[in-house]
Amino acid sequence: MKKYRDQWRDMVVAALQGLAAETNVSGLDITSLVVETPPKPELGDFAFPLFPFARVFRKAPPAIAAEVARRVSVMPGVGGMGAVVAAGPYVNVKLTPAPVIDDILAAIAAQGEAYGRSGALAAQRVMLEFSCPNTNKPLHLGHLRNDALGESLSRIFTAAGATLRKVNLINDRGVHICKSMLAYQMFGAGTTPASEGVKGDHFVGSYYVKYAQHAKDHPEAEEEVRQMLRKWEEGDPAVVALWKTMNAWVTEGIAQSYKRTGISFDQVYFESDIYKLGRSEILAGIQKGLFQKDPDGSVWVDLTDRGMEREVLLRSDGTSLYLTQDIGVAIQRSKDWPFDRLIYVVASEQRHHFHVLFAVLELLGFPWAANLHHLAYGMVNLPEGKMKSREGTVVDADDLLDELEKLALDEIKAKEREDDVGDLSRTAQEIALGALNYWLLQVTAVKDMTFDPKESISFNGNTGPYLQYTGARISSMLRKFEERKSQYSAGAYSSAALSLPEEWEIAKALALFPETVVTAARELNPSVLTTYLFELCKSFSRYYQDHPVLRNEDAGLVQSRIALVRGMERVVRNGLELLGIPFLEAM
């Protein structure tokens, strides 16, 4: 669609310049000419508001609009492209649909899976960090939002042409891990996830909970934990062995969850490998006078001239902090895989941390420090209220997925679709995932949100399953067409047959897909795509409700509408892929 928009913009620009030249007006600022979509389709396909030019022409906008419309309408070749009319202060353009429809449908058919991909960000190497689980408990609802955002953005960036690298950082060391380990030593009695038939992350998580209960009336436990951490750092064989065993259980469990939700990474960093990084950079920074050592031995950075505080970089005993480590990791990454941008998908609670991190890296003089970005996302609550780990109201990711799958399964059964669906449990899983990812991505990242499992799985409304349903209906239509193909062989595709306003609306929307992907990437916002796809599907549902695709006497009409349906199928398929929502051919 961009092509056409630019074409018409150029013509309007030429008209304005022509008018300026003839009336001896100078100082025309053409950058203030914007193209927008009229609020109602009847008004046209593009609109140019001319308010900004009133001053320079000393004329009322409607008068300018009338003059511009007149000039554009007599430009060579305009007749075949479309009509141009003034509507008050606006110049509206109504495209001639047929050639545009031909163009769009041909492009989709030719590009197939690649339709929607572009080179818009071709020069960019983008590293995207997300998920970053702890190895002391299973994933919860918050991780699901993180993962959905990270995975979807990675696909969107890739589609927009960027070279993208997904990285994960597993927090597999520290006091929280030792707590589970200590509790397991005390109460584990040699059991394993296998012996108990429990997923590894849940197994270990249960000991984390047991520790918390134990520590309530055993204050000395805290000291034992610290001792254990010390032993771990010293490489005590027994402690390290237990740590390895329990970490393996958790990471295996988390890997299963990733598989279930379609999450993957190009590189995984382990905190246990890299937690010592950063220290040397801090020490070097002291030499350069960037940081100061206090009398007690702690090292600080003064950020007050940036409106921030003084922050600790090294403890008085010389050891690193989380911040120190993140400094080291960023530097390491810039060496491992030099990037143009590094985006961290991390909950908004850590805004301050990243503020400081980025400031320190800038102080250290890394040129890439200006291209670090914290994609902060808000909390996910349930209709019942907030998640609070202390009150045990944290929603476990696997449990939630189980619940969604059950709801989906119930729905399939209620509609008596078991026989049509193929693999029943797989379909339920895919619907559950569609419901989850759509809901999580539909809300702008920075905002806190409410996740309503029942509403998310609903098959009507603004939901993932609704999109999947539209895809399934489209697939069904295309299957039927293939079965009866010979019936329609007398006719041939012709864009002229697609003369309904609904068909024009759909075709235009299909044409907007590639630009929409780029916008989503530019704004780091998958919800741009959810909204786009929902509206596209709604238009299509409305259309086929009233206008039969296959049940037509005119074989040419059938062929033409099928071409449009094929375009729909392609865009829905490619679009859902970018959101991590499975496309279903039947449901």
The dihedrals phi and psi of 382, each to the nearest 5 degrees, come to -105, 160
The whole-angstrom separation of Cα 354 and Cα 311 is 12
Shortest gap between Cβ of 296 and RNA (angstroms)? 4
Interaction of residue 264 with RNA, rule CB under 7 A = no
Q: Which is nearer to RNA, 32 or 191 (CB)?
A: 32
Q: Which is nearer to RNA, 188 or 532 (CB)?
A: 532
Bridge partners of residue 343, in order along the sequence: 128, 373
Binds RNA (CB under 7 A): choice among 73, 96, 256, 450:
450
Kindly state the tokens that stand for 536: 């596209």
For RNA, which stretch binds (CB under 7 A), given 214-222, 233-241, 251-259, 351-359? Answer: 351-359
Interaction of residue 294 with RNA, rule CB under 7 A = yes
Residues contacting RNA: total by CB under 7 A: 94
Kindly state the tokens that stand for 121: 């960000």
Bridge partners of residue 86, in order along the sequence: 91
The CA–CA distances, whole Å, from 566 to 112, 475, 482, 555 equal 10, 9, 12, 16
Interaction of residue 309 with RNA, rule CB under 7 A = yes
Q: Which is nearer to RNA, 322 or 366 (CB)?
A: 322
Q: Which is nearer to RNA, 464 or 580 (CB)?
A: 464
Shortest gap between Cβ of 448 and RNA (angstroms)? 6
Q: Are 156 and 526 in contact (CB under 8 A)?
A: yes
Q: Write the interaction track for RNA spanning residues 71-110; mark x where CB under 7 A is met and - where it is not.
A: ----------------xx-x-x------------------
Interaction of residue 572 with RNA, rule CB under 7 A = no
Interaction of residue 289 with RNA, rule CB under 7 A = no
Residues whose CB is less than 8 angstroms from the CB of residue 57 and which lie 6 or more positions away in sequence, other chains included:
19, 20, 23, 25, 64
Binds RNA (CB under 7 A): choice among 477, 498, 507, 518:
477
Shortest gap between Cβ of 450 and RNA (angstroms)? 4
Tokens 């951490």 belong to residue:
229
Rg (CA), the chain: 29
The whole-angstrom separation of Cα 532 and Cα 535 is 5
The helix (H) or strand (E) run that includes residue 472 is: helix 464-483
In the region spanning residues 407 to 426, those forming contacts with RNA, defined by CB under 7 A, are 411-412, 415, 417, 420-421
For RNA, which stretch binds (CB under 7 A), given 137-145, 153-161, 194-202, 458-466? Answer: 458-466
The whole-angstrom separation of Cα 37 and Cα 153 is 26
Helix, strand or coil for residue 162? coil
For RNA, which stretch binds (CB under 7 A), given 6-14, 46-54, 106-114, 279-287? Answer: 46-54
- The DSSP annotation for 258-286 comes to HHHHT---SEEEEHHHHTTTTHHHHHHHH
Q: Which is nearer to RNA, 158 or 516 (CB)?
A: 516
The helix (H) or strand (E) run that includes residue 94 is: strand 90-95
Interaction of residue 312 with RNA, rule CB under 7 A = yes
Binds RNA (CB under 7 A): choice among 9, 70, 214, 353:
353
Shortest gap between Cβ of 60 and RNA (angstroms)? 10
Shortest gap between Cβ of 255 and RNA (angstroms)? 20
Nearest to 148 by CA among 478, 465, 464, 498: 464
Q: Are 125 and 163 in contact (CB under 8 A)?
A: yes
In the region spanning residues 490 to 509, those forming contacts with RNA, defined by CB under 7 A, are none
Q: Which is nearer to RNA, 266 or 349 (CB)?
A: 349
Q: Which is nearer to RNA, 94 or 214 (CB)?
A: 94
Residue 39 burial by Cβ neighbours in a 10 Å radius (0-12, 13-18, 19+)? exposed
In the region spanning residues 371 to 390, those forming contacts with RNA, defined by CB under 7 A, are 378-379, 386
Shortest gap between Cβ of 194 and RNA (angstroms)? 28
In the region spanning residues 517 to 546, those forming contacts with RNA, defined by CB under 7 A, are 519, 525, 527-528, 531, 534, 538, 541-542, 544-546
In the region spanning residues 168 to 207, those forming contacts with RNA, defined by CB under 7 A, are 171, 174-175
The whole-angstrom separation of Cα 192 and Cα 200 is 8
For RNA, which stretch binds (CB under 7 A), given 262-270, 321-329, 491-499, 573-581? Answer: 321-329
For RNA, which stretch binds (CB under 7 A), given 13-21, 38-46, 154-162, 197-205? Answer: 38-46
Q: Which amino acid is at 39?
A: P
Interaction of residue 166 with RNA, rule CB under 7 A = no
Shortest gap between Cβ of 455 and RNA (angstroms)? 6
Kindly state the tokens that stand for 407: 């709801």
The CA–CA distances, whole Å, from 247 to 170, 203, 424 equal 10, 11, 34
For RNA, which stretch binds (CB under 7 A), given 1-9, 179-187, 366-374, 459-467? Answer: 459-467
Kindly state the tokens that stand for 125: 């190497």
Interaction of residue 460 with RNA, rule CB under 7 A = yes
In the region spanning residues 227 to 256, those forming contacts with RNA, defined by CB under 7 A, are none
DSSP E strands: which ranges in 335-455? 341-347, 372-377, 380-381, 449-450
The dihedrals phi and psi of 167, each to the nearest 5 degrees, come to -125, 150
Binds RNA (CB under 7 A): choice among 6, 21, 51, 241:
51
Interaction of residue 438 with RNA, rule CB under 7 A = no
Binds RNA (CB under 7 A): choice among 13, 20, 30, 38:
38
The DSSP symbol for 417 reads -
Helix, strand or coil for residue 55? helix
Q: What are the CB-based long-range contacts (under 8 Å, 24+) for 58-62?
A: 60/89, 61/88, 61/89, 62/86, 62/88, 62/89
Interaction of residue 448 with RNA, rule CB under 7 A = yes
Interaction of residue 365 with RNA, rule CB under 7 A = no
In the region spanning residues 109 to 138, those forming contacts with RNA, defined by CB under 7 A, are 134
